[in-house]
Amino acid sequence: MNKKALLTVAACIVAVVFISAFTFVPGEVEVGKAVPTFSLKGIDGKSYSISDFKGKVVVLEWTNPNCPYVQRVYKSGIMSGVQKKYAERVVWLTVNSTSPKHLDFEKAEDLAKQYKEWSSTFATMLLDPEGDVARMYDAKTTPHMYIIDKEGKLVYAGAIDDDPRGNKTEKTNYVDIALTSLLEGKAVSNTTTRSYGCTIKYAP
């Protein structure tokens, strides 16, 4: 194999690795299939199981209040706005999988205070300090969004919108579009997108 061919092969390998690193690859979840059940404690002290909400549309939003991307989508109203829009029609569960050993870790009462200041209207924030549920769902970033239909099947996984740099004047809010379609009885057309944000601060 000549040098030019070798360089071409190497470039292809690098491209595949790059794409794989940033493409949604399910852990135990797959779009179109039933999601695995789990149970976590919320910041309100109550325990919640995903199976409790069968028959309802559920949104899972991975978050970390110390992540600049999370701060931006809340302070600009991108996240809190879509939460408020569907507050009466979906169960919105925010999940915090930050390890207690990481500097970003916040106590439940501090989390509650911060998200209240950001006008969040999620049903509750679930605490996943060991990161077991995040790994189950292959959550990679904060934010990372998942939508589950009334039958308990995953219909969307990915980003909140198409503006990772936060500099677009007109944004496409993937979650808003998916929820509108779902609640109108239509199929979600764009089922997976590349999530963006800070890496989840998993426990070692």
Give the number of other Cβ atoms within 10 Å of residue 63's Cβ: 27
The topology (CATH level 3) of 34-199 is Glutaredoxin (3.40.30)
Domain ranges of the chain: 34-199
Predicted confidence at residue 27, as pLDDT, reads 55
Q: Among residues 161, 196, 147, which one has the least CA distance to residue 35?
A: 147
pLDDT (tens digit per residue) in 40-63: 999 999 999 999 998 999 999 999
φ, ψ for residue 90 (rounded to 5)? -135, 165
Angle, in degrees to the nearest 10, between helices 174-183 and 78-85: 10
What integer is the mean pLDDT of 133-151? Answer: 97
pTM: 0.85
- Name which residue leads in pLDDT, 6 or 64: 64
The Cα 84–Cα 198 span in angstroms is 24
Residue position matching structure tokens 């061919």 = 5
Predicted confidence at residue 28, as pLDDT, reads 74
pLDDT (tens digit per residue) in 98-110: 999 999 999 999 9
Give the number of other Cβ atoms within 10 Å of residue 148's Cβ: 26
pLDDT (tens digit per residue) in 79-130: 999 999 999 999 999 999 999 999 999 999 999 999 999 999 999 999 999 9
